[in-house]
Amino acid sequence: MQRNRLKPLRLPPKIKVLEALSAVADKRVLEVTDNEAIVRSSDGSRSYEVFVDLEAMQVYSSDNGTIYRGYIGYPIIAFMMKRGTLPYDPDVADKLKGINWRKLNEQYKKYTVVEKIVKNIFSRRNGDLEKLEALVNRVMQALKHYNLVLKERPE
């Protein structure tokens, strides 16, 4: 009998919290069941299957960050925010609406550059950068406590 080996997921780059805030603000998180959601990409070209079981600390998402890079991807974070299991501030998230993350990530290929651009957009929209940073830090701290593992693709 083959045993399922569940892979622990690393904490994401902080920019993924910004991307998750944007996904929730844009209403791109569609809850399918208590544990399942579909999260659309910022340009609408892709949809990610998401599964979150916090009792078992098992998650799944079909995004590249989760599957290939081994960190908690933004679709998981967005779904957890929508469910109320991670901090979320609608006033902060509202200033991140409508950002085409896919285009920025493909154009610049560096999270540091994209994060700087997104924070400039946020500031121009009268966003409070200190409030944003505090929220990102709260989300990262909360993620540390979950010890999430990647489960195999749900049936």
- Over residues 115-129, the pLDDT tens digits come to 999 999 999 999 999
Look at residues 92, 113, 90, 114 and name the one whose alpha carbon lies nearest to residue 42.
114
pLDDT for the residue numbered 115: 97
Looking at the predicted structure, is the pLDDT value of residue 1 above 80? no
Per-residue pLDDT tens over the stretch 36-86? 999 999 999 999 999 999 999 999 999 999 999 999 999 999 999 999 999
pLDDT for the residue numbered 155: 65
pTM of structure? 0.95
The band of 3, judged by pLDDT with boundaries at 50, 70 and 90, is: very low
CA 119, 121, 125, 126 dihedral sign is positive
Residue 83 structure tokens = 């469910």
Place of tokens 């967005």: 78
The band of 152, judged by pLDDT with boundaries at 50, 70 and 90, is: confident
Q: How far apart are CA 76 and CA 51, in angstroms?
A: 8
For the chain, percent of residues with pLDDT exceeding 70: 96
* CA dist list (Å): 142 to 2, 45, 90, 110: 33, 30, 18, 25
- 10 Å CB burial of residue 119 (0-12, 13-18, 19+) is middle
Task: List alpha helices for the chain, DSSP H.
Answer: 15-25, 64-67, 74-83, 90-94, 101-108, 111-124, 129-146
